[in-house]
Chain A
Amino acid sequence: MELVWLIPALPLLAFLILIPFGRKLSDPGAGWFATLLVGGSFAVSAAVYLELMSRPADDRVVHQVLFTWIPAGDFSVDIGFLADPVSITMALFITGIGALIHMYSVGYMKGDPKYSKFFTYLSLFVASMLVLVLADNLLLTFLGWEGVGACSYLLISFWFNEEANATAGKKAFVTNRIGDFGFMVGTFLLWMTIGTINYVDIPERLGGITELTATAIVLLFFLGATGKSAQLPLFVWLPDAMAGPTPVSALIHAATMVTSGIFLLTRLEPLLFQAPIAGEVIAWVGLATALVAALAAVAQNDIKKVLAYSTISQLGYMFLALGSGAIVAGMYHMITHAFFKALLFLGSGSIIRSMSHEQDMRLYGRLRKYLPITSITFILGWLAIAGIPPFSGFWSKDEVLAAAYSSENLGVLKWGIGILVALLTAFYMTRLVIMTFFGPKENWRDPEKLEEIGVASSFDDSDPSADAEAHHLEPSHTPKESPWTMTVPLVVLATLATVAGILNLPFADRFKSLEIWLEPVLTHSHEAPVATTLFILAGVAIVAAVLGVIAAYFVYQKQKIPAERIEKPALVHALYINDTYAEVVAGPGTAVFQGIADFDATMVDGAVNGVAKVTTDAGNGLKPLQSGLVRTYALTLSAGAVLLLGYVVMRMSF
């Protein structure tokens, strides 16, 4: 199969053509064009997938080297693609969901003045993401890694005349740079240790690696992963990233980019098993993130923020699985999550659009009758994420929890916290569904409430087609269902979210298609608990999910318990983690930079302006010499020389 390169090339082509011709293609031409090419990329992925399927299990690898990128002696790196079960699985759902979200955006972005630019960035994102997963070496993955980061940044800042978006974009940039540092150092360390960064060669050369080195490398890459995949301590950017357009939230900040951390560790799976301590760290960080984010999600009123925290929480589950050594479970949950979370985000986009871009759920209520398709598909997504059988989320989450249970250290405790998170998930998702589609009344009809909550909270205030008054929700507003370009993707994703569980059913080994499919690539397999244990664990999980749903029903539908007793301020602020960072950055951090700036202003910057002024006044070209600044510079230079000579003297006297 020499077609692998086409998978990233097609979206890249869309990007390259949209740069010059985007404006001409305009609305909706540019959107359909990009959708078509991403769809084409999906078709190629599917073809490669079928090709791989037709081969014997241990021959399911297509390694295509286009050319040598860096030919320097022992550090030789290719532009090469590696299509194996792991990467082609990723490619399939990236292009598949990507195409659906492109199509959805054709409707969602309708009338936006920067319509073609949006699709330009979105195509570049898909191309970068595909380079990330299909690369055959870490450096090329890093290229994609940087690329998706840049696109994420560009798309968050999409409506750049809004302060919130610009700030959010910057936050995403800074946290991701911290993660990138881990990636870079990890790559160098790996290369120094085993002399290769090619995924094909890594497993063969791991023989001599010490556990300490392996742990260090894995933890460095995990630092990179925490940045991209929004885990503690670098998760703060993701909720803010929701300032971007909703299709972007769905594609980048829920389904694809944020899973690249999971993908990276899956790729480095042979290394992961050389570093049990690192695995333990990953599991606990994932678990802690899952819990913190689930707690925060309980108290959010912005519909997209609930989903953002929910995404962070579910990503925590995936890291829990990886850390427990259950790579397949991690991938499984990643796939089902991509389906149902993309669905939920697109659904929320449909709701937001129908509600004049109001995102505060306190102004929603009883939307079910206005938005039939959106509500039905959304409810399917809700059942999936809440862990109700037989929807997909139940199966994958169950597998993650089982893996946590059977892990070596404190397995039961990990499982217990996992169950708690599952209960919380069911609770906050039910809360969201009730506040939006059910509930006692249509809240936006209450002018007082509208006045109180409405204007201030809407920051996705972006619908450019609408005129000024349509930006604000009116009590007389009647929500309308979205156009077919938006509902078709919802239906497709709802179907997938419902049935994706069949990918890996636990009943018998032959039902575990995903495991069988991925197994040849993985060097270690994970032992699942015995059937009876599994059955009991699943039972507890179902009980937890149902409890969560019922609790939320009593609080939000029946309103037997006031919501304020649950939605504590600490939860609203995600345990103040974000605020703590802000304080550190605003306090000592700013002080340091202010110090540099002051130093600069007095020592250097002041110099030019000051001197220029003096010179102009005096009209004397020799003035700068008398200002003392040149003398200061010369003095510094001499001081440097003295220091160097001092070193020489020191060296001589020892």
Chain B
Amino acid sequence: MIGLLAHTPDDLAAGNFSHSVSWSAIAPALILMLGGILLLVIVSVFRGKLSSGFFTAWTVIVAGGAIAAAIPLWHDVQEDGARSEMAGSVGLDGFSLFVTGVICISVIFAALFLDGYLRREKLEGPEWYVLLLLSAAGGVTMASANDLLVLFVGLEILSIAVYILAAMHSRRVTSQEAGLKYFVLGAFSSAFLLYGIAFVYGGTGTTNLVSINIFLADNVITQNGLLLAGLALLLVGFGFKIAAVPFHLWTPDVYQGAPTPVVTYMAGGVKVAAFAGMIRVFVVTFGPTYVNEWRPMVYALAVLSLVVGALMAIVQTNVKRMLAFSSISHAGFILLGVLASSDQGTAAALFYLLVYTFMVAGSFGVATLIGRTGDGRQNLGDYRGLGRSRPGLALTFTVFLLAQAGVPLTGGFMAKLYVIGAIVESGMTVLALIAMLSAVISAFLYLRIVVSMYFEASTDSADSEEPAELSGPPVRIPKLAGLALGLALVAVLALGIVPGPATRVAGDATAELVPEVEVPQ
């Protein structure tokens, strides 16, 4: 058994690095990474000669290319099973490929919203897209990491780009504040994660997830304090990235301050990657043997996120903050899928992440447009009368909000149904009750936004027959943003009406830890 292992510390000590590099296995990450770097090169060579539309097109094509590269790999994995590559540090399985796809989708949406946003705000373009692609490469690396150190490297590539993106709106003080806050706290949380990795290494003697998994199966360790402490610290790091309570405090501030198209990616792609890492470590690696040790901790985070996310969202007056808190409560729901610690739970979490990416892209996409020049009109009052002046946009937003509330026939309903189903299957009925209660409470928040779009009369014209007109300059919908909203709308509805295909794919996207098969020299 040990002989089959990718590489053990002994191998490393003996300088046994005779592994072939399978470039095709990491093609999606490579495409994203090279696409980003190449864009930077092209921009420096043709400075000033490229239109901003080029950057968007490039980003969309690169992200699309990464998805395209993932498809043949997906078929390979489905036929021949999962495998490990790159000296056992990269796991190629349905799970990592599914997550790759979702991250790329999030990148595409962010790029489509960025296009109009940058023109409107009169900001310089290419760096935004470069950072976006690099960050996605980090996310994909993270999702397919079979080694805690690779996972950490992926996380940092993912995060550092986003720290900068959050601060990229050079004329908005809040944007820079958001970037700085995110950076300082993110670095802080990374330290916890790294510390956790060190503890796990201390407890098991390896950072390779496959080896850890085998180590735990072979050695009956009931009370390994070092390992447990390592898990707790890892949870802090992941908890920060997925914005689970009590590691969530940065979220509303950063979402509110950061440029809104960036938030679509931050709330979408970044969270997806973080959840992928979390599932890989907690469910797949530690799940079979250590589930009872980590479950109580994650349980606490899930309950807190569900409750606090729902309650805090209600009292907000800023729509971006509302959506931030609602994304916290979504994190609570996705944690249910993690907690189930079963194939069904993982599939439910993946399906939720897919739906969530569309919902969140759509919601923050609308917020991008409503923000108008300056990206500052984000109070509830700024949405008043939208139903009248922009009925299509209001209707689209309503669908996204209803989906987030979990109304039947939208993807959001299916997503909630699956995670609650998974948790019930695992016997945690109390948690299921809390989740349903949280869904009931947070429905009120979404209603508040809908009401202000359609019904609420502005205070000064309470007597008039007509509903209030939208205040401020008119809302313009750039073509690409409109396209993105349309796509998200179709996806959210389709996932609710015919969820079958997507759930099948999510069900096939199993995460496996397979040792690398050594090629005979």
Contacts and interface: CB of A to CB of B under 8 A. Distances in A.
A308 to B, nearest CB: 22
A453 to B, nearest CB: 22
B321 A181 contact: no
Contacts of B418: 72
B297 interface: yes
Interface stretch (A399-407, A501-509, A602-610): A602-610
Contacts of B314: 593, 596
B455 A166 contact: yes
Interface string A593-625: 100110010011101100110011000011011
B486 interface: no
Given A634-B188, A637-B185, A625 B180 contact: yes
A56 interface: no
Give the secondary structure class of B's interface.
Answer: helix
A611 B176 CA distance: 11
Interface stretch (A234-242, A291-299, A371-379, A638-646): A638-646
Contact of A181 (B252, B407, B436): B436
Which range holds the interface residue count of chain B?
35 or more
Nearest to A608: B253
Interface stretch (B63-71, B112-120, B144-152, B235-243): B235-243
A608 B246 contact: no
B232 interface: yes
A593 B249 contact: no
A68 B500 contact: yes
Given A181-B436, A608-B256, A616-B173, A641 B236 contact: yes
A604 B185 contact: no
Nearest to B407: A146
Contacts of A166: 451, 455-456
Contacts of A625: 180, 184
Contacts, number: 169
Contacts of A633: 181, 185, 249-250
Interface stretch (A184-192, A309-317, A325-333): A184-192
A644 B185 contact: no
Contacts of A622: 180
B40 interface: no
B219 interface: no
B176 A621 contact: yes
A644 B223 contact: no
Contacts of B500: 68, 70-71
A615 B253 CA distance: 15
Which range holds the interface residue count of chain A?
35 or more
Interface string A133-166: 0000001001100100010000001001101001
Interface string A267-308: 000000000000000000000000000000000000000000
Contacts of B407: 146, 150
A462 to B, nearest CB: 10
Contact of B315 (A184, A593, A647): A593
A560 interface: no
Nearest to B461: A161
Contacts of A607: 253
Interface string B175-186: 011001100110
Given A161-B457, A192-B424, A644 B235 contact: yes
Nearest to B402: A150
Contacts of B235: 644
B247 to A, nearest CB: 5
B420 interface: yes
Which interface residue of A600, A634, A649 has the most chain B CB atoms within 10 A?
A600
B185 A630 contact: yes
Contacts of A630: 180-181, 184-185
B214 interface: no
Nearest to B196: A641
B236 A637 contact: yes
Contacts of B247: 636-637, 640
B408 interface: yes
Contact of B297 (A611, A612, A644): A644
A649 B232 CA distance: 11
A641 B230 CA distance: 11
B177 A612 contact: yes
A143 B496 CA distance: 12
Which interface residue of B177, B188, B447 has the most chain A CB atoms within 10 A?
B177
A640 B239 CA distance: 10
A59 B225 CA distance: 66
Given A612-B173, A648-B232, A161 B467 contact: yes
Contacts of B463: 161
A161 B225 contact: no
B437 A70 contact: no
Interface in A501-538: none
Contact of A600 (B174, B192, B312, B498): B312
B408 A139 contact: yes
A533 B304 CA distance: 60
A185 B451 CA distance: 27
A185 B436 contact: yes
Nearest to B257: A608
Contacts of A639: 246
A634 B188 CA distance: 7
A74 to B, nearest CB: 9
A184 B165 CA distance: 41
Contacts of A70: 414, 417, 499-500, 503
Given A139-B408, A608-B257, A188 B420 contact: yes
Given A139-B408, A597-B315, A160 B185 contact: no
A419 B360 CA distance: 57
B246 A464 contact: no
Contacts of B229: 645, 648
Interface string B433-472: 1001101100110010001001111000011111100000
A340 B246 CA distance: 57
A609 to B, nearest CB: 9
A147 B432 CA distance: 23
A-B pairs, top 5 by smallest CB distance, nearest first, are A160-B455, A143-B408, A644-B232, A640-B246, A597-B315
30 contacts: A68-B500, A69-B497, A70-B499, A75-B421, A143-B408, A157-B455, A160-B454, A161-B467, A166-B451, A166-B456, A173-B447, A174-B444, A177-B440, A180-B440, A185-B433, A192-B424, A607-B253, A608-B253, A621-B176, A633-B185, A636-B247, A637-B192, A637-B240, A637-B247, A640-B239, A644-B233, A644-B236, A644-B297, A647-B297, A651-B293
Given A174-B444, A630-B185, A637-B246, 20 more contacts: A139-B408, A166-B456, A188-B436, A464-B465, A603-B249, A605-B316, A615-B177, A621-B173, A636-B247, A637-B189, A637-B192, A637-B247, A641-B236, A643-B246, A647-B296, A648-B229, A648-B231, A649-B225, A651-B228, A652-B223
